[in-house]
Amino acid sequence: MVATTGKTSAQDPLEYLSKGWFPVNTVLLKDIQKKFKEGAYNEDRDGLVRDIKSDFALFGHCLKTMGTTVVVGDRARNPLDLLHQAEIKNLQALIEVPTDSISAHSFDPHVRHQVARIKHFIISCSTAEIIGVKQGISIDLAYSCAFARQLGMTLIAFNYPRIYSQAVTSLKNEEDDLDRILKKVLGYSPTQIGSRAVFGWSRYAPLRQALGESTPATEEGDPIAAFRERDASQREGEVLKEICELGEALARLNDVEHYPGSAKQWDMVVSEVRNYLGADGMNQIIARVREQQSSYVTLSPDAFRTEISQEQNVKAANAQYVRQLLAGNNYLKSLSAALHEEFEKLYQHIKREQVSTEGLNYLVSRLVPQLGFVRGCIYLTDAKRMKLVPTVRIGSAELGSFRAFSLGDMAYTNPIIDALNSVTPIRQENVVFNDEVISHISGTFGTRDKGGVLHLQMGREIAAADRSLSLLYFKAVRQALNDCLDLR
């Protein structure tokens, strides 16, 4: 369940988010202020806009504040044209402000979901710029649209961090539902928040189309010309939206911690990029990402460095998957630090949606014996033959010393059949099995459709220990076995 805002009904989330904003790069802001005083921008308006665009919070602050003074007749123009053409003294007034007047927040590189939102900005805006130019769209317009579409998520991450973190955590493999989850809590979708926070004043049709906002119709002038203009704006807006969505998909690929299911989409997203830019398309985007990230890397190189790499993406996705599996094996929390570390080593062998033979070998040949189980066997259910078949030996046992059991012969009792018919693991001491006297724990693993029985024979020490300890070890091993075999 995602928490509510805790705000009263009089406190509109959009107003709260717009006021709270998100942190600027103070080093960059001071550098821009210094350049203003030196007159460096007097003849270099493009350089000023370029510097402002290198910090997302500052860029949004300028457009948001500028919007309060734009006359009605200019609101239908490209907002970035207005920024380029504004008087230098007016632009300086936007910049010459205390940092905390833009936002009271500051960057903490340890708050991972906030850092991730900046990386989404970097990748999304860079992608939109590169592809937009190729499609004949102004680089500033492409950047502005991608920025506004990412802004809402970022504002929520910084101003409602608990809500954002819980919403992302609840996604699991359903990242497309994040907008819906946040809208249910806040009353606005993240895209609506970004659009209205920074471009609520704008009536520029292509931008509003790409942001999903309606454009008020005008009845002035030639109706045919007006129709053609609206049609052209709609087409441009649709292309803008498609470009931005592609940039957002690429950003999710590089945020597998918060979007674990995105890793599967790598080939599809890269193919789309190549459709727009050719075989060298990803390299073009990567080069722009490195430029865009430079001002943030100065704040924290390790936190904000943004790399687009399939190999790193796959590794990161699997590392996140392993962390989730470890957290999901609740029995590990009660183990000693040394044993917990051994299980961590085991889980490093596990790969997402694969049967991990390396992990399984580590489990049965090293970890299980360390826990005090001397022998054992993994029986798999063969539904077609109606048998429990010994498949993997554990410890010092020979696989040939275990035989298959018919599922149809339920009258015949033995530890394996008994375990199959029990909802909880069976622990027995000094019972006869395979003509030997053994002490064992046996229990089912896997799912109804695929699984079997895990049979572990206890050594003297673990058998003599408290009963709860041996059962704890067995349950930890059984969960690890499920994870190695990718059984959910």
Fold of 13-315: Hypothetical protein af1432 (1.10.3210)
Question: Looking at domain 333-484, what is its CATH homologous superfamily?
Answer: GAF domain (3.30.450.40)
Average pLDDT of span 101-126: 93
Q: 261 Cβ partners below 8 Å, 6+ apart?
A: 172, 173, 174, 175
Q: What is the DSSP string of 186-226?
A: HSS-HHHHHHHHHHTT---HHHHHHTT--------S-HHHH
Burial class for 230, CB neighbours closer than 10 Å (0-12, 13-18, 19+): middle
pLDDT value at residue 241: 93
Q: Is pLDDT above 60 for 350? A: yes
Percent of the chain with pLDDT over 90: 61
Average pLDDT of span 313-338: 89
Render pLDDT for 389-438 as a digit per residue (tens, 0 to 9): 999 999 888 999 999 988 876 666 788 988 988 999 999 999 999 888 99
Average pLDDT of span 109-114: 90
Percent of the chain with pLDDT over 70: 92
Render pLDDT for 437-476 as a digit per residue (tens, 0 to 9): 999 999 999 987 789 999 999 999 999 999 999 999 999 9
pLDDT value at residue 37: 93
First to last CA, the chain: 23
pLDDT value at residue 379: 96
- The pTM score is 0.75
pLDDT value at residue 447: 85
pLDDT value at residue 5: 59
The per-residue pLDDT of the chain, averaged, comes to: 88
pLDDT value at residue 175: 46
Q: What pLDDT band is residue 385 in, cutting at 50, 70 and 90? A: confident
Burial class for 466, CB neighbours closer than 10 Å (0-12, 13-18, 19+): exposed
pLDDT value at residue 8: 44
Helix (H, G, I), strand (E, B) or coil at 444: strand
Render pLDDT for 68-86 as a digit per residue (tens, 0 to 9): 888 888 888 888 888 888 8
Render pLDDT for 274-295 as a digit per residue (tens, 0 to 9): 999 999 999 999 999 999 999 8
Q: Is pLDDT above 80 for 261? A: no
146 CB neighbour count, 10 Å cutoff: 30
Domain segments of the chain as ranges: 13-315, 333-484
Burial class for 87, CB neighbours closer than 10 Å (0-12, 13-18, 19+): exposed
Question: Are residues 187 and 146 in contact, defined by beta-carbon separation less than 8 angstroms?
Answer: no
Q: Is pLDDT above 50 for 2? A: yes
Render pLDDT for 18-29 as a digit per residue (tens, 0 to 9): 999 999 999 999
Question: Are residues 26 and 191 in contact, defined by beta-carbon separation less than 8 angstroms?
Answer: no
Of residues 231 and 389, the one with the higher pLDDT is 389
